[in-house]
């Protein structure tokens, strides 16, 4: 039986963190925003489309984690160095944690927007603008991971 190198193990953990943490964050953020949107629908059933837009935003962080996974999975091989494996692990921690926290807090902002919409206020555009603020840091982590991938070499 062949033993895996430390580099591949580190990279595998990093890849798992990219997708896993960002996916968990998106799921939690969607539950937070979606639960409030469902409550708002009881007050304003005609606002389904608006509430849907306001509640799906936390799903994007899961996409960012998958994009990072896609970028870094191409570097994983049995011949990679421990340095390269550690870079993938670092990128996984960076993207995973930023997307996890960003999606959860974005879900809270979206929930507030959905609550206001349910109360009859026209707050979709201001709500989307405010919801973009926590997402900005998930985007920054993805951009930083893309820049970090330049250190991988091949």
pLDDT digits (tens, 9 = 90+) for 27-78: 999 999 999 999 999 999 999 999 999 899 999 999 999 999 999 999 999 8
Cα–Cα nearest to 92, from 72, 62, 78: 72
* pTM summary value: 0.91
Residue for token pair 């990679």: 80
Q: Distance between CA atoms of 91 and 72, rounded to whole angstroms?
A: 9
Q: Tell me the two tokens of residue 48.
A: 């389904």
Q: Tell me the two tokens of residue 6.
A: 């430390």
pLDDT digits (tens, 9 = 90+) for 92-131: 999 999 999 999 999 999 999 999 999 988 888 898 899 9
Choosing among 1.20.120.610, 1.10.10.10, 1.20.120.1200, 2.40.50.140, the CATH entry for 6-149 is: 1.20.120.610
Cα–Cα nearest to 21, from 104, 110, 109, 120: 104
Domain boundaries, the chain: 6-149
Check residue 2 and give its pLDDT.
55
> Region 72-94: what's the mean pLDDT?
95
């Amino acid at each position: 039986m062949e033993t895996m190198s430390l580099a591949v193990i580190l990279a595998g953990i990093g890849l798992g963190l990219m997708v896993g943490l960002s996916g968990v964050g998106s799921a939690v953020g969607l539950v937070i925003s979606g639960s409030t949107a469902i409550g708002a629908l009881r007050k304003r059933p005609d606002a389904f489309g608006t509430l849907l837009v306001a509640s799906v935003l936390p799903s994007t962080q899961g996409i960012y984690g998958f994009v990072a996974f896609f970028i870094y999975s191409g570097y994983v091989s049995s011949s990679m160095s421990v340095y390269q494996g550690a870079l993938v692990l670092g990128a996984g921690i960076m993207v995973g944690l930023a997307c996890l926290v960003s999606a959860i807090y974005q879900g809270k902002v979206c929930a507030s927007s959905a609550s206001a919409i349910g109360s009859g206020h026209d707050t979709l555009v201001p709500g989307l603008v405010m919801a973009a603020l926590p997402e900005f840091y998930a985007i920054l982590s993805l951009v930083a991971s893309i820049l970090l991938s330049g250190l991988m070499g091949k």
